Each structure stands twice: as C-alpha cells, then as structure tokens.
Amino acid sequence: MTDVTTGLRSLTDKLGVDIDPELLSLALTHRSWAYENGQVPHNERLEFLGDSVLGQAVTVRLYTRHPDLEEGALAKRRAAVVSTVALAEVARRIGLGEHIKLGRGEELTGGRDKDSILADTTEAVIGASYLSAGADAASALVLRLIDPLLDDPERYGAAMDPKTALQEFAARGGLQPPAYEIASSGPDHDRRFTATVRVGDVAREGTGTSKKHAEMAAALTAWKDLSGRA
C-alpha cells in the first residue's frame, strides 16, 4: 500500500464515510496543483456541490434544534458556522491540510494552513461524500463536522465581522461604542497600520496592511478578551 493510499484511508477513517478514492483524490486537488500538472481536473466543482449539501444540512439542524429562534437569528448562526473561519477550523481538527495537493507557489506560501484553501477543500470533500455515499451519509458527515461549532456560533460570527461583534457586545454591556485610533509606519510601498480600539477600560491593538484590516484585528482581539473566548 502506497503512502498516498494510506493517507487517503486514514482520512476516510476520520471522516467516517466511505468515499470513492478517485473522488476523494479529486476533492483534495487544488487548482494550483492542477495547473502545474497539465490542467488536470481540480476540486472546484465538488466544492460547489459540497457548499449546497453543507448549507442544507446546517439549515435543517438549526431549524429543528432551535424552534424558538426567528429567521434572522437562524440565518446569522448558519452564516457563522459555514464561514471560511469555521470550516478552516474543522479542516485543522481532522488534519485535512496535510492531504491537499498544492502547487509549488501555494506550498511555499503556507497554503496548507490558509483558511480559504482549507475551507474550500472541506466543502469539496463533502461533495465527494455526497456522490460516493448519498445524501443521508453526506448530511451525517456535515453534522459530525459542524456540531461542535454549533455550541458557540457567536465566536465564528465575530471572526467574520469583528467590528460589528464588538459593537454589539459593548451595547449589551451598557458600554460606550468602540473607539478606534490609527497609526501607520513604513514606506508608501510597504505601509503597515496599527489600530487601537478602546471599549470601556479595555484597549487592544491590531496590525494590518490597511486601516480596515488593522481595525478588524484589534476588534477581534478585544472581543475575544472581553467575551472570554480563546
């Protein structure tokens, strides 16, 4: 048995669903690898399918688990747990990154741990499970992967939109709205920004290549500290 075959079997065991090896290999093929190897097929069509399966399974679970929540609250929770941030956490939990086939450029720039690549590959694997084992097995896989996230959807919503999350947290606590200050450094072609956000007695910093990214980084750090979430 080859190392590749062993790796795929190990991943299949973690997923708990019998996925056709060729489909699983396709689900793990990033477009960067495909382009460097003769324009072979890559995983974006499976990602498209998996996104739909994921959305339906999560929607049904939220609807049945929370009969008291209005549509808007359900939609917010769904968006949080199917976000790139949340799906990347799922991928890291099952060690998906080590199995992805990446081109040289992505490999050199840390593609195996990029949220976007991990999230897209997770959706592709879900798509492959649908084609291999059917709708029920694919939905069951989604729920095994996503259920741990459903306990704290606010955390993933904050990662998607930290400034709004921090503002809502401050409002609930009777605090003044967050106030931001921006400083910059470096030459024009390599400008770095540092944002400081103040909420009550708390001040936290974040950095980024734009004012927006710096403010988001500061807001997420402040929200995590104030809410007690790691």
Residue 53: per-residue pLDDT: 98
CB atoms within 10 A of CB 108: 9
Q: Could you tell me the CA-to-CA distances from 27 to 10, 102, 180, 210 in Å, in that order?
A: 15, 12, 42, 34
Predicted confidence (pLDDT) at residue 164 exceeds the cutoff of 50: yes
Q: What is the mean pLDDT of residues 86-106?
A: 93
Distance CA 3, CA 14 (A): 17
Predicted confidence (pLDDT) at residue 3 exceeds the cutoff of 60: no
Query: How much of the chain exceeds pLDDT 90, in percent?
Result: 62
Residue 4: per-residue pLDDT: 55
Predicted confidence (pLDDT) at residue 37 exceeds the cutoff of 80: yes
Distance CA 201, CA 222 (A): 11
Q: Of 150, 124, 138, 146, which is closest to residue 16 (Cα–Cα)?
A: 138
Q: Which residues of 71-106 are buried (b: 16+ CB within 10 A; e: fewer)?
A: eeebeebbbbbbbbbbbbbbbeeeebbebbbbbeeb
Provide the edge-to-edge strand list for the sheet that holds 192-199: 179-185, 192-199, 202-208
Residue 177: per-residue pLDDT: 94
Amino acid in position 211: K
Query: Burial of 174 by CB count in 10 Å (0-12 exposed, 13-18 middle, 19+ buried)?
Result: exposed
Beta bridge partners of 194: 183, 207
Q: Looking at the annotation, which residues are catalytic?
A: 51, 123
Name the more confident of 160 and 17.
17
Decide: 179 and 198 in contact? Cβ < 8 Å. yes
Q: Could you tell me the CA-to-CA distances from 163 to 62, 183, 219 in Å, in that order?
A: 25, 18, 5
Residue 2: per-residue pLDDT: 38
Predicted confidence (pLDDT) at residue 1 exceeds the cutoff of 70: no
The predicted-structure confidence for 183-196, as pLDDT tens digits, reads as follows 998 888 778 899 99
Decide: 29 and 43 in contact? Cβ < 8 Å. yes
Binding residues: 47, 120, 123
Binding residues for Mg(2+): 47, 120, 123
Average pLDDT, the chain: 90
pTM: 0.80
